[in-house]
Amino acid sequence: MASSSPQSKYRFSLVVLVLCFIVGSLVAVASASNFNKDFEITWGDGRGKILNNNELLMLSLDKGSGSGFQSTNEYLFSKIDIQLKLVPGNSAGTVTAYYLASEGLTWDEIDFEFLGNLSGDPYILHTNVYSQGKGNREQHFSVDDAPIREFKNLESIGVPFPKNQPMRSSLWNADDWATRGGLVKTDWTKAPFTASYRNFNAINACVWSSGASSCTSKSPSSTSSAGNTWLSQEFDLGSQEKLKWVQRNYMIYNYCKDTKRFPQGFPKNAHYCLEKLRRETLIDPFFRFDVPFRSRLASARETRLGIIK
């Protein structure tokens, strides 16, 4: 984690707005990021590459190593769009991770991990929120163009909340747990495995740099323009109904119900779990989600991550 913390006035709740499944190959959209300017490849010994006039970034994994990259900016809040093409075919044992994470022992992290699959089997999207180095907040979902999560800012009652974080991504081997609990191993004869990224866009981002924020105001007027309307977006009844539908049809794991995992009682914030279950609350403040996606060859998935003040 960075040594400096954002000012307390920058309080926000985290909402995973949409995970869209897009059939077909990666397609061009209105905005195109410059990966050479906005990102740096952080590991992989040449396995990560920036191509196509800096508009495409590709990570690869072989038996020797995976690869990864991170953004040059650290974000306090933003709506983040990216097109991500997952490993096609037999990707069992691999993990393609797309996440925000700070540095240090008490790091903050908001992550999406796409767990590889056998050809034709669903992808699992494994997500988590770490606050000050602590996670253990799991639920598992299948999602198709529906909101799946809200992580509320409850620092006022002692609940840690994520701070300034670069956007990162990595492709790595995790065949000890990623596919069917580790029963299915990585088939290295299919290597190298590749994942591709394009059209990154951090919309109306509040960037943390050199101990200061790029945000000048959080007044209503600062969110009045058409491009900023998402900043004042609330989790309305329609979104709650979509979330309820997702939970009913696609949730495959919820740590709030896992008494075998927590025989001595739930972690901190467990009272929110119990209250949520008792009242059948639709908003999920303290959880991780895993989402099976039906994999298709040469398909793209656009991830929209909204962090709302």
Name the residues annotated as catalytic.
109, 113
* 37 DSSP 8-state letter: H
Contact criterion met (CB below 8 Å) for 174 and 185: no
Q: What is the DSSP string of 83-132?
A: EEEPPPS--TTEEEEEEEE--STT--EEEEEEE---TTSEEEEEEEEEBT
What is the distance between the alpha carbons of residues 301 and 111, in angstroms, rounded to a whole number? 16
Contacts of 16 (CB under 8 A, 6+ apart): 127, 147, 148, 149, 150, 289, 305, 306
Beta-sheet strands, E only, within the chain: 13-22, 39-43, 49-51, 56-61, 67-85, 94-101, 109-115, 122-130, 139-140, 149-151, 165-173, 193-209, 212-213, 253-254, 290-294, 300-308
